[in-house]
Structure 1
């Protein structure tokens, strides 16, 4: 379902905006590096400090940065069905890991074989678990 604009498309775009705010980077920089491709491995490994804008020199509220990045990680999931609604995004930003939304959107950790099986059966990919959920 490419090219269809709906709430989940807006959620994805908002997730990219959150990553821009947190990292101080543009979606595509002058070296043509994609923000999501740069951020995804850092989010998966829970490296919040490496995702933060270096101009902040480490001077930020770690809990707020964590909530921002956790929310962004949910918003930029590849499949729209795995993204939260905007009202859920608001709750994630407000309450972070402790929110009911965070608990309900938490992804199980799958092996690559399980992911392949799931994709074949259901016709879409399951997002990888973001380890930001486990690392504060």
Structure 2
């Protein structure tokens, strides 16, 4: 039973990632289940950017590939092929650049300057 709860949590994490990335709810009356919609884009690099929220102006295609790979692994129908949360964390931490971009640093500097005046 405990094993199934962990695998259920991993699957739920795989469902949550497209919600965060797309800004869409988990279920839409018009399009149905978000993960079913997202599956059409997850494994195709040429269209994978379609799952990204249009409000998100700056994102890395390499980072998106990692996120899509993690989603696919987490929702894999075969429980035994799903990674552990430790493996997922390692994938995300080691393969996604979390440093601030120069554009973001500049905009944060302007915001900080405006707040201090």
- Per the normalisation by structure 1, the TM-score is 0.60
Instruction: State how 1:26-45 maps to structure 2 within 5 Å.
Output: 26-31=25-30, 33-45=32-44
Shift of 1:5: 4.1
1:36-72 Cα offsets, whole Å, 9 max, x none, are 1101121132322111112224x21223222222111
SS in 2 for 1:84: coil
Q: Matched residue pairs, number?
A: 94
Q: Cα deviations across residues 49-103 of structure 1 (Å, max 9, x unaligned)?
A: 111112224x212232222221111111112111100001101112249xxxxxx
Deviation at 1:15, TM superposition (A): 0.8
Report 1:1-136 matches (<5 A): 5-31=4-30, 33-46=32-45, 47-57=47-57, 59-96=58-95
Ranges in structure 2 where 5+ consecutive residues have no aligned partner? 97-117
Gaps of 5+ in 1: 98-136
Aligned to 2:111: none
Cα distance in 2 for partners of 1:45, 1:66 equals 9
- C-alpha distance in 2 between matches for 1:43 and 1:54: 16
Q: Which has the higher helix share?
A: 2
